[in-house]
Amino acid sequence: MMRMQNRTVRLAKPLYETLPYFYMLAGALSIGASYLLGHTIWADIVLVLGIFCVLGGIVVLLKRRDYRANRAEYPGTSLDDRPHG
């Protein structure tokens, strides 16, 4: 039987930091493309996809900002690791 290995995919920091902007750009381009496609079912599909991409990019940016703010505000130890008393 084959053993499962715990592998994590790591991205370079510049690439990781630009992903939300890429999502929003792809969404904006999709919204623009849906306008150019006219009144077809594909235009509607591309429009919905574009809206989800823009919203996804915004959500990722906001989640990262909140995580970094919370991490800077609170110490790195959990409540269980602190000495009692």
More confident residue, 83 or 64: 64
Q: Is residue 20 part of a domain?
A: yes
Residue 37 lies in a domain: yes
The residue range of the domain holding 51 is 13-71
HEC assignment per residue over 21-39: HHHHHHHHHHHHHHHHHCC
13-50: pLDDT as tens digits: 889 899 999 999 999 999 999 999 999 999 999 999 99
Does pTM top 0.75 for this prediction? Answer: no
**CA pair distance 36, 34, nearest whole angstrom:** 5
57 CB-contact burial (10 Å; exposed 0-12 / middle 13-18 / buried 19+): buried
36 or 72: whose pLDDT is higher?
36
